[in-house]
Amino acid sequence: MPHILRIPRATPHSVRPLALILHRLAALSALVFSAAIAVDYYGASPRFCQSGGGCELVHAWSASLRLDLVLPALGLVFYSAIFALSLAPKASLRRLGALGAQLGALGALGFLTFQGTYLGAWCRFCVGVDTSAIIAALAALPFVRTPLMHEPLAKDERVRSWRSVWWSAWALAIGVPLAWGFTTPPSQIPDVVRVRYLDGAINVVLLTDPECAFCRNMHTALAEALAEARDGGATVHVDRVFVPLPSHRLARGAVHAILCAPDDKREAMTTLVYEGLLVRDALIGYARQLDLDEARFVTCLDDPATDARVQDNLSYAKSVGMQGLPTAYIGERTLLGFDPTRGAEPFRSALAAAQAERPPTRPWWPFALIALVALVLGVLTRPRTTKP
């Protein structure tokens, strides 16, 4: 008789402990996201969500209704309660927690719908809270009528008190995001700009328009300062974001010409554009001057994909919160506008300061304190063994 490998079916007795673990983990996940939102809403500036995105729009909406002071605290309190009730020694309290999780899921579904249909923007940390809430509610469904009154993976399964090693996880879920956010070194550089920085170099990010008179004048002065810094042995990384203003009729075509130049000749094309004429014939002449393939260059000028790259630059400038042109981010400094009377001096000073400055460091002691609290809490709330 052939041997048949039989796979054991999952029984309600085996699934329910896993559901309880998933319910608690989802509640902890909601607490992590709620703590991150609390940092962004209660701190001086956002630390987790970059400015200019969906998070900022959702924050602005909540602030207009004075809900920005309430929502993060409500999330921390509500999901702490849901988590705590899952550890309760009484069936009635665990049932209350399971019902509360269903209420949280309804609110999460409503807020997700509101973000997508009314605001048209998504706060990724809010989505994290809402998704965690829905998972916690689904995992708690088996316990709405019949709570599980023993601890999964525990030797002594009977629940006699609130004591549990899960409290250490609760402390870490709230404490680590708060410590990370509130110990982030302050910076004048927007997060969306900093992500373009390269390690080990002096970073220069420019918002500029080739038809803007001040931008054109700044190009020459900045080039002088960059050459001096490089001659002095500095490694400088320059990243230009071209922002052709609608009022500048020739700017968009000029940006096309710069983007259509290959990487090894883009800097030279940029200089030719900023120091010369911007009409189409002149742009094609610059391509000839740089020995580019003229036919390929002209095709690139008219390619919709090139214009899409320009549109990406415009969207990026909006996300930065551009206040005017030109704008230069050099290391930890922001230079807005250009003063012809000072020439290259502001850029020399900023480059020299960026070369001397060290990256800001994060203090370690808050994380040590959080770990100590979690450890002490784990010891104090460790379930006591009972004699049979």
Q: What is the pLDDT of residues 119-176, one digit of tens each?
A: 888 888 999 999 999 999 999 999 999 998 888 866 666 666 788 889 999 999 999 9
- State the burial class of residue 341 (Cβ atoms within 10 Å of its Cβ: 0-12, 13-18, 19+): exposed
Q: What is the CA radius of gyration of the chain?
A: 29
* Peptide bond preceding 326 in cis form (omega within 30 of 0): yes
| CB contact at 8 A, 104 and 83 | no
Q: What is the per-residue pLDDT for 336?
A: 93
- State the burial class of residue 182 (Cβ atoms within 10 Å of its Cβ: 0-12, 13-18, 19+): middle
Q: What is the pLDDT of residues 272-321, one digit of tens each?
A: 999 999 999 999 999 999 999 999 999 999 999 999 999 999 999 988 88
β-strand partners of 239 = 205
Q: What is the dihedral of CA 230, 236, 239, 242, to 10 degrees?
A: -30
Tokens of 298: 């002209």
Q: What is the per-residue pLDDT for 383?
A: 76
Q: What is the per-residue pLDDT for 52?
A: 59
Q: What is the per-residue pLDDT for 51?
A: 62
Domain residues of the chain, as ranges?
12-186, 191-356
Check whether 338 has a pLDDT greater than 90: yes
Q: What is the pLDDT of residues 172-228, one digit of tens each?
A: 999 999 999 888 877 778 878 988 999 889 999 999 999 999 999 999 999 999 999
Check whether 3 has a pLDDT greater than 90: no
Give the position of tokens 């260059």.
Answer: 297
What would the mean pLDDT of 34-55 be, rounded to a whole number? 80
The alpha carbon of residue 130 and the mean position of all alpha carbons in its chain are separated, in whole angstroms, by: 17
Instruction: Tell me how far apart the alpha carbons of residues 119 and 50 are, in angstroms, rounded to a whole number.
Output: 18
The alpha carbon of residue 41 and the mean position of all alpha carbons in its chain are separated, in whole angstroms, by: 14
Check whether 50 has a pLDDT greater than 80: no
The CATH fold assigned to 12-186 is de novo design (two linked rop proteins) (1.20.1440)
* Fold agreement (12-186, 191-356): no
Tokens of 113: 């719908």
| CB contact at 8 A, 262 and 290 | no
Q: What is the pLDDT of residues 91-118, one digit of tens each?
A: 999 999 999 999 999 999 999 999 889 8
Q: What is the pLDDT of residues 218-239, one digit of tens each?
A: 999 999 999 999 999 999 999 9
Tokens of 5: 């490998």
- State the burial class of residue 82 (Cβ atoms within 10 Å of its Cβ: 0-12, 13-18, 19+): buried
β-strand partners of 241 = 207
**Per-residue DSSP letters for 227-289?**
HHHHHTT--EEEEEEE---TT-TTHHHHHHHHHHS-HHHHHHHHHHHHHS--SHHHHHHHHHH
- State the burial class of residue 383 (Cβ atoms within 10 Å of its Cβ: 0-12, 13-18, 19+): middle
DSSP 150: B
Q: Provide, rounded to the nearest whole percent, the portion of the chain with pLDDT above 90.
A: 66
Q: What is the per-residue pLDDT for 8?
A: 47
Check whether 12 has a pLDDT greater than 60: no
Check whether 62 has a pLDDT greater than 70: yes
Check whether 66 has a pLDDT greater than 60: yes
Starting at the edge strand found earlier in the chain, the sheet holding 202-208 runs 236-242, 202-208, 327-330, 333-336
Task: Indicate the angle between helix axes 12-42 and 54-64, nearest 10 degrees.
Answer: 80
- Taking the CA of residue 36 as centre, how many other CA atoms within 13 Å lie in the half-sphere pointing to its CB? 18
191-356 to CATH, choices 2.30.110.10, 3.40.30.10, 3.30.70.20, 3.30.565.10: 3.40.30.10
